[in-house]
Chain A
Amino acid sequence: ETGVTQTPRHLVMGMTNKKSLKCEQHLGHNAMYWYKQSAKKPLELMFVYNFKEQTENNSVPSRFSPECPNSSHLFLHLHTLQPEDSALYLCASSQDRQAYGYTFGSGTRLTVV
């Protein structure tokens, strides 16, 4: 365990399903991030939250909807996904937005069928 816990570890969903990914950290960090990692591609930043406020949406389609109820929890709500959305979704946290030593979770391996 890295201090950042993601659930579920694996998820298979149909294109019409709605599901949520959960991320939790008890490191006392104030910034949290969602990244997407596809095969043969760099980690792509999706969203940034700093002190529960969204500070970055990296042109992510609206079928991905983040939620940050408090500094310890981050969700990614998924609906009407496409097969090309299949990837490893990684959550990370850092002390604040200007701290560049991120702690990553182990990710959720998402398969859209």
Chain B
Amino acid sequence: GQSLEQPSEVTAVEGAIVQINCTYQTSGFYGLSWYQQHDGGAPTFLSYNALDGLEETGRFSSFLSRSDSYGYLLLQELQMKDSASYFCARASNTGKLIFGQGTTLQVKP
């Protein structure tokens, strides 16, 4: 199978750190991507991990552990504008992205 699992909702306060986890099935796995989507907007690419470890881009970091079939997106110094849906997506060796159902992040003042 190629499904992914991530929490449906996460709530955090402004300035805090939040981690959104994603587990995936390993069949044909190539890498893990993360996307952000605001209400009514286009999904926006955040990061891609093909190898184990942490990738940092400003306030956002993404981590992958292939041995654990697990990854996460870490958002630091949360801002109100970070309220959005976050999708993990697995890349397959056949060149396609399969998306998880998304995590709705609500940032409160």
A residues with a Cβ closer than 8 A to B are 2, 4, 31, 33, 35, 40-45, 48, 50, 55-56, 90, 92, 97-98, 100-107
B102 CB-CB contact with A under 8 Å: yes
Are A100 and B31 in contact, with the CB atoms below 8 A? yes
Tell me, rounded to whole Å, the shortest Cβ–Cβ distance linking B106 to chain A.
16
Are B95 and A55 in contact, with the CB atoms below 8 A? yes
Within 8 A of A (CB), among B26-43: 30-31, 33, 35, 40-43
B99 CB-CB contact with A under 8 Å: yes
What is the chain B residue whose CB lies nearest that of A98?
B95
B10 CB-CB contact with A under 8 Å: no
B residues with a Cβ closer than 8 A to A are 4, 30-31, 33, 35, 40-45, 48, 87, 89, 91, 94-102
Are B97 and A90 in contact, with the CB atoms below 8 A? no
Q: How far apart sit A104 and B33, CA to CA, in the bound complex (Å)?
A: 14
Offer 12 A-B interface pairs, CB within 8 angstroms, sorted by A.
A45-B99, A48-B95, A50-B95, A55-B95, A56-B95, A56-B96, A98-B95, A100-B30, A102-B45, A104-B42, A106-B40, A106-B41
Known: A42-B102, A43-B87. A2 touches B44 (CB 8 A): yes
Tell me, rounded to whole Å, the shortest Cβ–Cβ distance linking B1 to chain A.
13
B31 cross-chain contacts in A, Cβ below 8 A: 100
Are A104 and B96 in contact, with the CB atoms below 8 A? no
Q: How far apart sit A106 and B48, CA to CA, in the bound complex (Å)?
A: 21
Are A101 and B33 in contact, with the CB atoms below 8 A? yes
Tell me, rounded to whole Å, the shortest Cβ–Cβ distance linking B32 to chain A.
9
Q: How far apart sit A97 and B35, CA to CA, in the bound complex (Å)?
A: 17
Known: A45-B96, A48-B95, A97-B95. A104 touches B43 (CB 8 A): yes
What is the chain B residue whose CB lies nearest that of A58?
B96
What is the chain B residue whose CB lies nearest that of A45?
B96
Are B87 and A42 in contact, with the CB atoms below 8 A? yes
Across the interface, A42 reaches (CB within 8 A) one of B42, B91, B94, B99, namely B99
